[in-house]
Amino acid sequence: MNPLHLRSAGTSLVISTHRGEAEIVHWGADLGDTLPDLSLLNEPIPPSSIDANVPTGLLPQASSAWQGRPGLRGHRITDGVAGLDFSVRLSAVSADADGRTAVVIQTDPDAGITVASHLTLHPGGLLELRHELTNHGTSPFHVDELATMLPVAPDAVELLDLTGRWCRERHPQRRAIQQGTWVRTGRHGRTGHDSSLLLAAGTAGFGNRHGKVWATHLAWSGNHEQFADRLADGRTVLGGSELLGPAEVVLQPGETYQTPTLFAAYSDRGLDGISEAFYSWFRSRPHHVSGPRPVVLNTWEAVYFDHNLETLVELAESAADLGVERFVLDDGWFRGRRDDHAGLGDWYVDGTLWPGGLTPLIEAVTSRGMDFGLWVEPEMVNLDSDIAREHPEWIVRPAARSPKDGGRLPLEWRHQHVIDLVNPAAWQYVFDRIDALLRDNNISYLKWDQNRDLLEHGHAGRASVHQQTLAAYRLFDALRAAHPSVEIESCSSGGARVDLGILERTDRIWASDCNDALERQTIQRWTGMVVPPELVGAHIGPSTSHTTARTHDLSFRAITALFGHFGMEWDVRTVTGAERQELKRFIALYKEHRELIHSGRMVRADVPDESLMVHGVVAADHDGGAADSATAALFAVVRTRTGFAEMPGRVAIPGLEAGRNYRVELLFPRPADADYGHAFMEAQPAPWLASGAQASGRFLGEVGLPMPVLQPEHAILLRVTAL
Ligand code: GLA
């Protein structure tokens, strides 16, 4: 069983059991076919320390002198005595690899604990790791934490993670890795606006396309921690775990707890290599969205709660005329929902607003060739709803007492509470209602929202975020099984539930409630580090953003939305004349390029001028042959603010094939366009802009092209074609 060596796409993972317990000897660059005797890596024993070599365990443990964050924290309660078996000594009993998958079983017979670790190294280099802990003892075992961790090489000296808030999700922050633990904690009961989609450690100054990077993502939509731990002995691990509440996981004899999956990628070519590993994995899944991603019109910023059949039919007609392919009716259609104070939980079409049900609108939409989508928020309830009045005991609260008996409810958030999906009757009610809506109406798409944090979240008086998260997953799974053709979007006050746990059961995420293109450039860039663009909703909002009051040209809004799953969230009835023609052009442009955008490699240039972002999509090699790779690309050059120099200078267009010749041309705006005059701030544009440029991929990547002097908050589109 010794050692296990998984290899793929330039990555190796080596697990050895030569010291008894399973340890991760290497995760990083591919090591080739043959490995030396790994005992050569046994560390020296420093002065004033434990008299033993300390392995970096697959599940690091104090019994082998690991003094960093432990892999397992837990204890047993036997005959009323708590705190027993607080330290386990796991050693490997089997370690098997089958191609790219390995299963390692470790056990401590005295403590009655067995841990099975499952590892898969996918063809694109993405690594999956999870542990399953089983209680073989005769008394209950409390799991306080079971963490998934991976060591990174000593030259990883900088850490990048993401944080945010409503309307500003997934912004980067960087720091030097120093001794101690950097922990990102999510106690929101959902993934959270501030959750770090990725924790990346890398060599000094690692960037979009240079440097070695090791990165992890925890696939979990409940409470969690992600951490980087640098020990005093110099070793560094990255990891993540579910953050469990008091006695949330108590294993009875024979029961098992499974960790969320830790996804991890290594790249020797910066963050773009990390994205490649994630995208390759997403796109290889059998249930990954396929076919053209339809142009969306969402009604939220167009009409908000002002639902009226006549208005919405007009909106649908206007949308169809533009070339929209999916019409999504947002919040406001169900019983009692006139604003956000009432109605959540009553998943019946409101009879006063919709006397004929949703059918007249659905027919107006589908008869014009569009799919119909509907907004729901199944996990939530307003106190002002029939269901809350009928079943107050279904509303989540910290103590077992019902509200009628003085049981305290958690504080409200957007006037709403959480429905206790751990209660089987409540779960069944929600399932039945959404199932009935999908059966009774011609609905192709659900925008599944979740608009509050879970605070003081209990079931029967005990903390239950863990169980609620699993129950919500079961609800998604059951509805998907019953309605396999219905697509589901994960929305959560914008982008507060973006993780690979929810993305296993949904088909796109709503990245943010902010449709301001300038904010979206950053939000989408960092969301796109993990999630491919076909799964990231990106809409053109009104010219003046509803969430920031900034005003942008249509071209800046459209070029921003183009690099995602494109749509509009705008009262398009008001868009007339030349602006309507321009909008139609962008919709046509999206349709023309969506196959490339949704299958290609995402490329982000390292641009020294921080006022400029250059990103694009390069056609991916479909059949493994070099001959037909990188035949086309689409790039956006985005000016976010004024630059420090008079000219941006030459900017590289990377990611093309070095030995191929390409033509680069300005796709938008063209000189006749109104936005042309707004976008450029030049006495005389660089000559190549008018005529196009021809150069090799090597030249474009190394020397680049002189970029135009763009006005702040403007963008241009470049089309690259192989000659
Ligand atoms: C949340 C979503 C929005 C919209 C509203 C409706 O805030 O993020 O997109 O659906 O709810 O209430």
Q: Report pLDDT digits (tens) over 202-259.
A: 999 999 999 999 999 999 999 999 999 999 999 999 999 999 999 999 999 999 999 9
Do both 338 and 272 map to the same domain? no
pLDDT of res. 406: 75
Where residue 123 sits, what CATH number does that domain have? 2.70.98.60
CA–CA separation, 295 and 327 (whole Å): 9
pLDDT of res. 679: 84
Place of tokens 């746990």: 501
- Within a domain: residue 545? no
Do both 253 and 401 map to the same domain? no
Catalytic pick among 144, 371, 507, 513: 513
- Within a domain: residue 314? no
Number of independent structural domains in the chain: 3
Model confidence pLDDT, tens digit, residues 94-110:
999 987 999 999 999 99
- Within a domain: residue 557? no
Hey, which of 380, 449, 498, 546 would you mutate to test ligand 1's pocket, going by the most ligand atoms within 8 Å of its Cβ?
449
pLDDT of res. 407: 83
- To the query of whether residue 346 is one of the catalytic residues in this protein, the response is no
- Within a domain: residue 412? yes
Model confidence pLDDT, tens digit, residues 503-551:
999 999 999 999 999 999 999 999 999 999 999 999 999 999 999 999 9
Distance 91 CA to ligand 1 centre (A): 50
Q: Edge to edge, what strands does the sheet with 4-8 contain? A: 4-8, 11-19, 21-29
Q: What is the mean pLDDT of the chain?
A: 96
Distance 292 CA to ligand 1 centre (A): 25
Distance 499 CA to ligand 1 centre (A): 18
Higher pLDDT, residue 670 or 711: 711
Pairing of strands 661-668, 714-722: antiparallel
Do both 242 and 342 map to the same domain? no
Model confidence pLDDT, tens digit, residues 266-280:
999 999 999 999 999
Phi, psi of 584 (to 5 degrees): -60, -40
pLDDT of res. 627: 43
pLDDT of res. 2: 80
> Which tokens in the block code for residue 635?
């790039």
Do both 432 and 346 map to the same domain? yes
Do both 496 and 622 map to the same domain? no
User: DSSP string covering 564-598, please?
Assistant: SEEEE-S-GGG--HHHHHHHHHHHHHHHHHHHHHT
Model confidence pLDDT, tens digit, residues 366-377:
999 999 999 999
Question: Which protein residue's CA is at the shortest distance from atom 6 of ligand 1?
Answer: 331
Predicted confidence (pLDDT) at residue 498 exceeds the cutoff of 80? yes
pLDDT of res. 223: 98
pLDDT of res. 1: 60
Ligand 1 atom at shortest distance from the alpha carbon of 330: 10
Place of tokens 């409940």: 222
Instruction: Tell me what percent of the residues of the chain surpass a pLDDT of 90.
Output: 91
- Going by pLDDT thresholds of 50, 70 and 90, the confidence category of residue 622 is low
Place of tokens 């991916």: 620
Catalytic pick among 272, 420, 449, 453: 449
Model confidence pLDDT, tens digit, residues 131-140:
999 999 999 9
- Within a domain: residue 208? yes
Do both 235 and 343 map to the same domain? no
Higher pLDDT, residue 681 or 357: 357
- Picking from 684, 609, 680, 679, the residue whose alpha carbon sits closest to that of residue 649 is 609
- Within a domain: residue 534? no
- Picking from 162, 166, 164, the residue whose alpha carbon sits closest to that of residue 512 is 166
Do both 270 and 336 map to the same domain? no
CA–CA separation, 500 and 263 (whole Å): 9
Where residue 351 sits, what CATH number does that domain have? 3.20.20.70
Distance 340 CA to ligand 1 centre (A): 10
DSSP 3-state of 9: coil
Distance 516 CA to ligand 1 centre (A): 15
Phi, psi of 650 (to 5 degrees): -75, 135
Q: Which residues line ligand 1 (CB under 6 A)?
A: 300, 330-331, 375, 449, 451, 491, 493-494, 510, 513
Integer-rounded Cα radius of gyration of the chain = 27
Do both 240 and 101 map to the same domain? yes
Question: Dihedral (C-alpha) 246, 250, 256, 262: value to the nearest 10 degrees?
Answer: 10
Do both 330 and 275 map to the same domain? no
Predicted confidence (pLDDT) at residue 625 exceeds the cutoff of 70? no
Ligand 1 atom at shortest distance from the alpha carbon of 491: 8
Question: Which protein residue's CA is at the shortest distance from atom 12 of ligand 1?
Answer: 331
Distance 492 CA to ligand 1 centre (A): 7
Model confidence pLDDT, tens digit, residues 438-461:
999 999 999 999 999 999 999 999
Hey, which of 493, 497, 570 would you mutate to test ligand 1's pocket, going by the most ligand atoms within 8 Å of its Cβ?
493
Residue where a domain stops, chosen among 453, 475, 510: 510
Provide the domain limits for residue 716: 601-722
- Going by pLDDT thresholds of 50, 70 and 90, the confidence category of residue 404 is confident
Where residue 681 sits, what CATH number does that domain have? 2.60.40.1180
Helices (H) and strands (E) in the chain, counts: 14, 41
Hey, which of 166, 375, 490, 498 would you mutate to test ligand 1's pocket, going by the most ligand atoms within 8 Å of its Cβ?
375
Q: What letter represents residue 543's amino acid?
A: S
Neighbours of 627 (CB within 10 A): 7
- Picking from 162, 262, 168, 155, the residue whose alpha carbon sits closest to that of residue 529 is 162
- To the query of whether residue 440 is one of the catalytic residues in this protein, the response is no
Residue where a domain stops, chosen among 221, 252, 284: 284
pLDDT of res. 680: 83
> Which tokens in the block code for residue 353?
């607003």
Pairing of strands 236-242, 224-230: antiparallel
Do both 619 and 688 map to the same domain? yes
pLDDT of res. 396: 97
CB 637 within 8 A of CB 563: no
- Within a domain: residue 309? no
Question: Which protein residue's CA is at the shortest distance from atom 11 of ligand 1?
Answer: 493
CA–CA separation, 10 and 29 (whole Å): 6
- Within a domain: residue 301? no
Model confidence pLDDT, tens digit, residues 170-196:
999 999 999 999 999 999 999 999 999
pLDDT of res. 670: 85
Strands (E), 302-453: 326-329, 371-376, 380-381, 417-418, 445-448
Do both 266 and 356 map to the same domain? no
pLDDT of res. 620: 85
Do both 60 and 201 map to the same domain? yes
pLDDT of res. 626: 44
Residue where a domain stops, chosen among 479, 510, 541: 510
